[in-house]
Amino acid sequence: MKILVLGPGAREHAIVLALLAEDAGHDIICAPGNAGIAQDTTVIALDASNPKIVTEFALAEEVDLVIVGPEAPLVAGVADLLRRKRIPVFGPDKAAAALEGSKGFAKRIMEAASIPTGRARVVADLASASSALDEFGAPYVVKADGLAAGKGVLVTEDREAALAHVQHWAGRGDVLVEEFLAGPEVSLFVLSDGHNVLPLSPAQDYKRLGDGDTGPNTGGMGAYSPLPWLSDTFVNEVVSNIALPTIRQLEAEGTPFVGLLYCGLIVTDSGVRVIEFNARFGDPETQVVLPRLDTPLSSLLYATATGTLQDIPSPVFSSEVAVTVVLASENYPDAPMTGRPLGGLDDAAAVPGVQLAYAATAEDNGVMIATGGRVLSVVARGENFTEARKRAYHAMSLITLEGGHYRRDIAERM
């Protein structure tokens, strides 16, 4: 197959690596990709969020399948136009992607489909915010509507800070005050062809910057899969109680969801609750889910894109586990330092069971340099978590980047 993967990051690199691992001789193009992805396949510099540019390119190249990595192209309507031109695309139309793009829309769908989630209030001003904060009590959860690259959510004990967050985001769209939910988080990816669903293996993401879940929220600093502490029935329950009703609700409203429904969940004492939906693969969870997938990824995504998931057997996952640790630039997530050289990459990639998924990188006269906050994900497989962690951290210790930092506690306690 000729496959176009849209996006610039480590998630897209993990997708490309999984497609290459099929050994099916796929012709894979990644746009815009990055310098790390360019070591493995063709990358093309085009604006992945421009529907017209992407569609013209896909038509000219006679692409069989487009896989959309990030949310921005979805919200911009890239999948809509591709679909109109009859190009199979893995990723929902703009209207269905609002499940991620608008937290208010997501709450409405959840309410309509009786999906278990935290109680929330849309607050328009400081007075309504203030009363919502008091209604739910501390810790306070304030969420900006719309896409905010992980920076829109504040969880705090500090009422003043919660109000300041409301004020900061209030001018730019709706702001939600939500009840705090306590418990471990789970990311479950569910493929949906608009009507049928197929779950992948669960993963856990580490969203906070610092060890022991301290510091600010980030795009994600590490992940592991599977989650040995979950019950055997967990995935089926989430499919029956959350994923399928959500997909059927969207279908009934005339906005079918074709792509990946990312269920961001908290396992509370009184049951599983949705904290967010995303309309695409998670980053860095993809880096640990896909290396464990034994079923060819392209077959799953093509069936999703063409509405034929009911013909496909459930995906098979390896008994091996996977751990990923994200290397970030100095000052991430505030104002990351860029332009610094990376070293030790070949040695790190040579550690048994390890692969590197590159994110913000470019090549400058043969030297790999960091160009943004999250630079790369070190991914390690192993027989068990002790082995996978050891491999991941050994590989990470071989990489040099001035000011670079990473969490030391990924998959340590579970």
Measured from the CB atom, the residue of 121 and 391 that comes closer to ligand AMP is: 121
Query: Which of 3, 68, 153, 369 touches ligand AMP by CB under 6 A?
Result: 153
Q: Residue 277: helix, strand or coil by DSSP?
A: strand
Interaction between residue 80 and ligand GLY (CB under 6 A): no
Encoded one letter per residue, x for contact with ligand GLY by CB under 6 A and - for no contact, window 156-195 reads ----------------------------------------
Q: Which element (helix H / strand E) includes 144?
A: strand 140-144
CB of 103 to ligand AMP, least distance (A): 7
φ/ψ region of 214 (left if φ > 0, alpha if ψ in -120 to 50, else beta) reads beta
Interaction between residue 256 and ligand AMP (CB under 6 A): no
Stretch that binds ligand GLY, among 12-20, 88-96, 275-283, 321-329 (CB under 6 A): 275-283
Candidates 100, 101, 102, 73; CA nearest to 89 is 73
Identify the DSSP state of 115. -
Candidates 127, 104, 277; CA nearest to 187 is 277
Count of residues near ligand GLY by CB under 6 A:
6
Q: Parallel, antiparallel, or unpaired for β 65-68 and 89-90?
A: parallel
Written as six digits, the tokens of 45 are 């510099």
Percentages helix, strand, coil for the chain, rounded to the nearest 5?
A: 35, 30, 40
Give 31's strand partners: 6
Residue 198's alpha-carbon distances to 125, 227, 243, 275, 287, in angstroms, are 41, 18, 9, 20, 19
CB of 155 to ligand AMP, least distance (A): 5
Count of residues near ligand AMP by CB under 6 A:
14
Interaction between residue 12 and ligand GLY (CB under 6 A): no
> Could you count the other beta carbons within 10 Å of the beta carbon of residue 397?
13
Query: Which of 282, 353, 373, 404 touches ligand GLY by CB under 6 A?
Result: 282
Residue 108: half-sphere exposure toward Cβ, Cα within 13 Å: 12
Query: Which of 83, 207, 389, 391 touches ligand AMP by CB under 6 A?
Result: 207
Measured from the CB atom, the residue of 77 and 220 that comes closer to ligand GLY is: 220
Contacting ligand AMP within 275-294 (CB under 6 A): 275-276
CB of 414 to ligand AMP, least distance (A): 16
CB of 232 to ligand AMP, least distance (A): 25
Interaction between residue 225 and ligand GLY (CB under 6 A): no
Interaction between residue 181 and ligand AMP (CB under 6 A): yes
Query: What is the number of the residue whose Cβ is closest to ligand GLY?
Result: 282
Written as six digits, the tokens of 294 are 């034994």
Measured from the CB atom, the residue of 276 and 330 that comes closer to ligand AMP is: 276
Peptide bond connecting 284 to the previous residue in cis, omega within 30 degrees of 0: yes
- Pairwise CA distance, residues 71 & 264, whole Å: 15
Interaction between residue 122 and ligand AMP (CB under 6 A): no
Interaction between residue 202 and ligand AMP (CB under 6 A): no
> Tokens 């074709």 belong to which residue?
258
Written as six digits, the tokens of 137 are 């009590």
Query: Which of 278, 324, 329, 377 touches ligand GLY by CB under 6 A?
Result: 278
Using CB under 6 A, list all residues that contact ligand AMP.
118, 141, 143, 153, 155, 178, 180-181, 185, 207, 217, 264, 275-276
Using CB under 6 A, list all residues that contact ligand GLY.
205, 220, 278, 282-283, 285
